[in-house]
Structure 1
């Protein structure tokens, strides 16, 4: 594990694999940390790629910025981290909120993108109802902490059947959620509530894009992934069977196979 200060925040990150390998930047979702990507880090580095996986500000072991953190803040943090590492261009991939940060990165730093990986995410701007929900949830997390929320949503983060079928995975995901600092989670929720519409951004992407979704994702269903695929001129869709919102941890072998096939063909 490594640490650096970017834009006033201390960011903890992993940097694995050969320095000469194609760099891949992996962006976790809410409310997780970089260890969400452990199965992908193992597979990618074994295939010769360089993998950078940070804890976003407010998550994992990175420092907390209370109040509100916009997706633009996260994207600029990632660009600054790449600067620190001397990486000009990378494959950038994210899941859920991390996918939206990846789209924001494409908006703000398109010249740094070799390819995109968008897992279980959505492109439209937040709705009025969604904005109210996220701000109320932020208030709740600050007042109550993470535990109650984490246990309420575990059967949506994972496909409900995987909570019992994959108890070790469910435990690991719950532990990540419960360990998150409520101030960081709340700040991200308030910022995410103000996210813009990324559909025009996606339509303008000329880099190759892999769209991944769990077949039984209830947060961002297959139909949303298909809508992203239709928007992007050069895109591939992989539907991961027997998975929900986090196919990279629920079905890592299938997820990794789709990812490695895409990279081998396009990098």
Structure 2
């Protein structure tokens, strides 16, 4: 069920489905909470799913300037406090995974378990820092139609692009409907993100690392590196998928997630 709450000066829109063990899904950039639709149907029975639109995205408030990932993590902390949720499994994809690192740094007690999908713990390099700031300017000046036309194919695998027109269409709709000013503010914040690699050996909750085999943003080697540094972490590599395996291969993604949730119930 769609809900809205005032959190830290903004209106935060989120879905609240089912009851039971809490699973919080954190979307990536430049998307919104609907990217998890294939997971809602699979997991809402017997569990409580909390799925927010992060500030700057979807139906939540659109800030200007710079939105740090710390801010997005703090929004989640306050949301869960308002909902009286003290423990959850968190699932974050891409930027969503980067937010989970800041969330764990700030409030590790909230974590029952963590799923890191197609993400990276490292900070930006000097080169990628400048590229991130340039991307923010491009989003604000040229808009999401331009960005989508240039980059959509990078999020999806070759087979997905060739054989799953509905997935391509849905991703395009999400990207094009994102507010460019909100996305630009978060991209500026992502440029400033911390390097969390030193924290990886000190993550003590159960962790599942998922990655699409064709992911060019966060390749399999990056996922393997994180899995090796987090004690007891599991790794799932999904074939015929790139940066959005939860949409490209939802049955396989959901299978790995279900096994992880059952094992760590």
Deviations 1:134-188 (A, max 9, x none): 1111111111110111121111111133112110000000100000001110000
Alignment partners' CA distance in 2, 1:107 and 1:166: 38
Tell me how far 1:199 sits from its aligned partner: 1.1
Alpha-carbon distance in structure 2 between the residues aligned to 1:234 and 1:76: 27
- 1:148 aligned partner: 146
2:58 and 2:232 mapped to 1: Cα distance?
34
Long gaps (5+) in structure 1: none
Matches within 5 A, 1:50-65: 50-65=48-63
Whole-angstrom distance in 2 between the partners of 1:13 and 1:188: 19
CA contact (8 A) 1:216 1:245 kept: yes
Q: Deviation at 1:266?
A: 1.1
Cα distance in 2 for partners of 1:92, 1:55 equals: 15
Matched, 1:27 2:39: no
Query: Partner residue of 2:232?
Result: 234
2:196 aligns with 198
> SS of the counterpart of 2:44?
helix
Residue 83 of structure 1, aligned match among 78, 81, 84: 81
Distance 1:172 1:223 in 2: 28
Q: Which 4+ stretches in 1 moved above 6 angstroms?
A: none
Instruction: Report the TM-score when normalising by structure 2.
Output: 0.98
Normalised TM-score (structure 1): 0.97
Native 8 Å contact 1:207 1:234 kept in 2: no
Which residue in 2 is equivalent to 1:174?
A: 172
Q: C-alpha separation between the residues in 1 aligned to 2:44 and 2:115?
A: 17
Q: Is the 8 A contact 1:106 1:201 kept in 2?
A: no
Report what 1:74 is aligned to: 72
Q: Does 1:15 align with 2:16?
A: yes
Root-mean-square deviation (CA, aligned residues, Å) is: 0.8
| Structure 2 unmatched ranges of 5 or more | none
CA distance, structure 1, for counterparts of residue 123 and residue 80 of structure 2: 27
Task: Quote the offset at 1:253 in angstroms.
Answer: 0.1
Shift of 1:239: 0.7
Partner of 1:253 in structure 2? 251
For residues 100 and 143 of structure 1, the distance between their equivalents in structure 2, rounded to whole angstroms, comes to 26
Deviation of 1:213 (Å): 0.3
Which residue does the alignment assign to 1:132?
A: 130
Q: Indicate the SS of the match to 2:4.
A: strand
Question: What is the rounded CA distance, in whole Å, between the counterparts of 2:105 and 2:98 in structure 1?
Answer: 10
What SS does structure 2 have at the residue aligned with 1:83? Answer: helix
How many residue pairs match? The answer is 264
- In structure 2, distance between residues paired with 1:136 and 1:233: 37
